[in-house]
Amino acid sequence: MDDTPLVSILMNCFNGERYLNEAIDSIYAQTYQNWEVVFWDNASTDRSASIAKGYDKRIKYYLAPETTPLGEARNLALEKSDGQYIAFLDCDDIYLPDKLEQQVNLMQSKDYAMCYGSVVIIDENGNLIKKNFVKNKSGNVFSSLLRRYEINMQTVMLKRGFVISNHLSFNTSMSYCPDYNLFMTIASKADVGVIIDVIAKYRIVSNSLSKKTINIAGSEVKYTLDELLENAPILQKNFPKEFVHAYAKARYYEMIKNIVDGNRYYAIYLLKSIFFVRYEYSIIMILLIMHVPLKMVLKILNR
């Protein structure tokens, strides 16, 4: 087996000039150097193109004729990749120097289909907000991910051959969580490697896609769970309690949407069926029943 397999790093960019140099520089600073960047410019109108083209030929630049949803953009970038392994980096995030080296070593040690690790969350100025350490251990993590999804996109590495042989891709109809959809599907089929160490920095920005798409979060999470059970009904039998937790999280997202919209009583209605699943849901329900201002509830929930 080749000791230094090629890693294709997919960068999907739409007007990402602000942090783009810092993101790309973190790739060039890697201790593992057998990589290529598939830079998918999703019809940016800023300086993203000139920044990307300012590096060497290891950055393969592609310009989309029009802006497409994130899932479709990732699929198009994936088609241009040549690596044995696939990694991801958004234009405002950062790899730690040994990120690729740790992951390639782990992927080769057990021939995992996917691996991921811990992440540091930073603000727009690069200041530390918190560290999110993963809890799972390498192996069959599917049931644990149903209870507590802990995968950050920037820490993921996929085995390209597994993705292709299983005819997998990002769901092009999704705007909030095409990554959740794909990674949960992979975890339902194969063992996954987990790195406890922090291997990337994830930046929270004011105009992030996740903030803009909270209205559809619940429905897309539920769609993924329904799809998993439709494709493999045995999962319901094997993990009944875990699916209760996962479906409750989908309803939790729907509840958040209604709080944002000012629908206190419908939010309470949604919580009635899941308040027993996690104590946090019970606390939220009490706050809503006590008529705590909705803005304060959202602040407590970090929304």
- HSE-up (13 A, CA, CB side) for residue 20: 24
How many Å apart are CA 96 and CA 119, to the nearest integer?
10
More confident residue, 87 or 176: 87
Q: Could you report the per-residue pLDDT of 197-241, keeping only the tens digit for each?
A: 999 999 998 755 455 567 889 999 999 999 999 999 999 999 999
Residues 99-111 have a mean pLDDT of 96
Q: Could you report the per-residue pLDDT of 283-302, keeping only the tens digit for each?
A: 999 999 999 999 999 999 88
Residue 292 token pair: 């705590």
pLDDT band at 173 (very low <50, low <70, confident <90, very high): confident
Contact 162, 187 (CB under 8 A): no
Q: Across-strand partners of 87?
A: 9, 157
User: What CA–CA distances, in Å, run from 121 to 94, 129, 193?
Assistant: 10, 5, 21
From 162-176, 181-195, 197-211, 258-272, the region with the lowest mean pLDDT: 197-211
**269-302 burial, b for 16+ CB within 10 Å, e for fewer?**
ebbeebbebeeebeebbebbeeeeebeebeeeee
Taken in order 210, 213, 218, 222, the sign of the CA dihedral is negative
How many Å apart are CA 22 and CA 12, to the nearest integer?
15
Residue 7 pLDDT: 98
Residue 208 pLDDT: 53
Which range scores top for mean pLDDT: 38-47, 69-78, 210-219? Answer: 38-47
Residue 205 token pair: 């920005």
Residue 225 token pair: 């769970």
Residue 171 token pair: 């769901």
Per-residue pLDDT at 170 exceeds 80: yes
From 77-86, 174-183, 197-206, 213-222, the region with the lowest mean pLDDT: 213-222
* Integer Rg of the chain from CA: 20
Residue 207 pLDDT: 57
Per-residue pLDDT at 73 exceeds 80: yes
Task: Identify the residue whose tokens are 């990589």.
Answer: 35
pLDDT band at 303 (very low <50, low <70, confident <90, very high): confident
Q: What is the mean pLDDT of the chain?
A: 94
Task: Identify the residue whose tokens are 């782990």.
Answer: 106
> Cα–Cα–Cα angle for 146, 151, 152, nearest 5°?
150
Question: Whose CA is closest to 202, among 153, 148, 254?
Answer: 153
Domain 7-205: give its CATH code. 3.90.550.10
CA 302 and chain centroid, separation = 18
Residue 107 token pair: 């992927």
How many residues can be counted in the chain?
303
Task: Identify the residue whose tokens are 């592609």.
Answer: 62
pLDDT band at 1 (very low <50, low <70, confident <90, very high): very low
Residues 267-275 have a mean pLDDT of 94
All structural domains of the chain with their residue ranges: 7-205, 211-300
Residues 244-267 have a mean pLDDT of 95
